[in-house]
Amino acid sequence: MTKKELITEIRKYRCSDLSDAMDALGLVDKGTMAETMRPIRPGIEFKGYAHTVKLLPRQSAVTRCTSVDEWRQVLAEGCDNIYNFVDTVTEENAADMVICIDMAGVRGGVWGSEIAMTMMEKGIEGAVIEGGCRDSYEANLENAPVFCTKRTFTHAYGRVERGAIGVPVECAGVTVKPGDIICADDDGVLVIPIEYAEEVIQYARVQLEDDIAVRSQHYENLGYEPDATLERLKE
């Protein structure tokens, strides 16, 4: 399969189907992020290829500003350092991309409403943050597709600094490599190592086919109208 064909097929399945498929391959809990990784609101679902970012705890002292103008300059310089990964995402490469950020346990809110909109304009699928998100109210109004392990009002400035881009990162207990497939829905976040993706699809299809058959019968018995959950495998 091409990358596009692969991710198009993966998107038919729930995280539960894909997780069961990994179990069938002996990969029990190998890609299951901890329950602390949660969506900022119900109903967020996305799947895409990991674009990884490693941030590090800040080592240098924070400047004591003496004027608003100085603060603006210091903050801008700090953000240039932290958010250098933004320029690696373009409208040309953002399709099917999930940003995966490892903040090394630091609480700061690296993902807020402004960067969420910037990345949505570029066309990413979503973001998964081992660390903090802030501006939650605005981000939800904007329908930002984000999962994180912490909700906060603190800034990333003064707390983290740039580390590396496109390297393996640790995210909610899972090692994520660049190009791995990140699957997120209301149940949580699952990482499928790219080398297993085509095998996972084979087993996930069986899981979902069986589930749809059983639930379709329940719907009929209970007098429910069929809904979109019974049509996930339709082309």
Residue where the block lists tokens 């660390």: 131
Give, in words, the CATH class of 32-191: alpha beta
Instruction: Tell me what percent of the residues of the chain surpass a pLDDT of 70.
Output: 100
Instruction: Tell me what percent of the residues of the chain surpass a pLDDT of 90.
Output: 97
Beta strand 109-111 pairing with 126-133:
parallel
Taking alpha carbons only, the member of 111, 122, 117 closest to residue 87 is 122
Amino acid at 148: C
Q: Decide: 60 and 137 in contact? Cβ < 8 Å.
A: no
Nearest-angstrom CA–CA distance, 148 and 126: 11
Q: Decide: 140 and 41 in contact? Cβ < 8 Å.
A: yes
List helix spans (H) across 54-99.
Answer: 68-82
Q: Which residues pair with 165 in a beta bridge?
A: 53
Average pLDDT, stretch 189-202? 97
- On the CB side of 56, CA atoms within 13 Å amount to 9
What's residue 234's pLDDT? 82
pLDDT above 70 (res 119): yes
End-to-end CA distance of the chain: 17
Q: Decide: 48 and 128 in contact? Cβ < 8 Å.
A: no
Average pLDDT, stretch 71-98? 95
Taking alpha carbons only, the member of 46, 82, 50 closest to residue 175 is 50
Q: Which tens digit of pLDDT belongs to each residue from 43-74? A: 999 999 999 999 999 999 999 999 999 999 99
Domain borders along the chain are 1-30+193-225+231-235, 32-191
Q: Where are the beta strands (DSSP E) in the chain?
A: 38-39, 46-57, 97-102, 109-111, 126-133, 146-151, 160-165, 169-171, 174-176, 181-185, 188-192
- 85: which 2 tokens? 């990964």
Q: Which tens digit of pLDDT belongs to each residue from 27-40? A: 999 999 999 999 99
What's residue 107's pLDDT? 82
Beta strand 174-176 pairing with 109-111:
unpaired
pLDDT band (50, 70, 90) for residue 235: low
Nearest-angstrom CA–CA distance, 84 and 21: 37
